[in-house]
């Protein structure tokens, strides 16, 4: 059997060492290289042509997402299995949309990770249970109904700390209209109050990055 050639891309040496030790103990894996950031991963994919890259997302310089996008643009046959500690919509959706074959969390049990790498090498999509649950919930949720431009304006002002009256003044609409927009926002995001609406909107990437 030809071993599955794996490249490990993670900025933490201890993580890389642990993954290398795990994989080299298995007869059907060969670790062909290690990268500390996305730029190094791209260069090694080019020179080593691994079957699978275990890609962390948040690395200094060129991150994992940028590397995944670059590989997709190059039409690289190498599969990317994201291995990270983050499972928010802001991380999961862009990574899968950019072309990642799978998405696992670093606390995945060893057998799950090994099977995921094997599946990824075959081009099969592999998702952490929490990620799969969130994606299914998103598909079934009213949150998939798009917020209107005005609702986004209202929500942005609320996220900035404006009261209903303050938002109404800045948007040149009545306070009652702001309240109506908020009710529509709550329904679309499936939440019950302002704080939850703001938190959910950030999680789903509807609002820009938090300041500070």
Please report the pLDDT score of residue 135 as a whole number: 74
Domains in the chain with CATH codes: 4-139 (3.40.50.2300), 142-203 (1.10.10.10)
Per cent of the chain over pLDDT 70 is 93
User: What is the distance between the alpha carbons of residues 207 and 154, in angstroms, rounded to a whole number?
Assistant: 11
Q: Could you tell me which residue, 90 or 120, shows the higher pLDDT? A: 120
Q: Which of 89, 93, 48, 31 is nearest to 68 (CA)?
A: 93
SS3 91: helix
pLDDT tens track for 149-200: 899 999 999 999 999 999 999 999 998 899 999 998 988 888 888 999 999 8
Please report the pLDDT score of residue 143 as a whole number: 45
Q: With a cut of 90, say whether residue 89 has pLDDT above it.
A: no
Read off the pTM. 0.66
User: What is the distance between the alpha carbons of residues 96 and 131, in angstroms, rounded to a whole number?
Assistant: 11
Please report the pLDDT score of residue 36 as a whole number: 96
Which class for 200: exposed (0-12), middle (13-18), buried (19 or more C-beta within 10 A)?
buried
Please report the pLDDT score of residue 138 as a whole number: 64
User: What is the distance between the alpha carbons of residues 166 and 10, in angstroms, rounded to a whole number?
Assistant: 46
**Other CB atoms within 10 Å distance of the CB of residue 5:** 18
pLDDT tens track for 113-147: 999 999 999 989 899 988 887 777 666 555 446 78
> Which residues are within 8 A (CB) of 185 and not within 5 positions of it... i.e. 6 or more apart?
147, 151, 154, 155, 197
| Phi, psi (deg, nearest 5) at residue 139 | -65, -30
């Amino acid at each position: 059997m030809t071993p599955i050639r794996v490249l490990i891309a993670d900025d933490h040496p201890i993580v890389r060492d642990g993954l290398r030790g795990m994989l080299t103990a298995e007869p059907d894996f060969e670790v062909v290289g290690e990268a500390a950031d996305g730029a190094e991963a791209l260069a090694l994919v080019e020179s080593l042509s691994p079957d699978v890259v275990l890609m962390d997302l948040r690395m200094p310089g060129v991150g994992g997402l940028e590397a995944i996008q670059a590989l997709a643009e190059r039409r690289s046959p190498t599969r990317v299995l994201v291995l990270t500690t983050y499972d928010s919509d802001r991380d999961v959706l862009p990574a899968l949309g950019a072309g990642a074959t799978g998405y696992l969390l670093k606390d995945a049990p060893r057998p799950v990770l090994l099977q995921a790498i094997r599946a990824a090498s075959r081009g099969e999509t592999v998702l952490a249970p929490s990620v799969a649950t969130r994606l299914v919930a998103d598909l079934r949720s009213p949150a998939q109904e798009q917020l209107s431009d005005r609702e986004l304006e209202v929500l942005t002002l609320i996220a900035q700390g404006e009261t209903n009256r303050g938002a109404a003044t800045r948007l040149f609409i009545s306070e009652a209209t702001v309240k109506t927009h908020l009710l529509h926002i709550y329904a679309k995001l499936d939440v019950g109050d302002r704080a939850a609406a703001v938190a959910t909107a950030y999680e789903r990437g509807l609002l820009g990055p938090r300041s500070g």
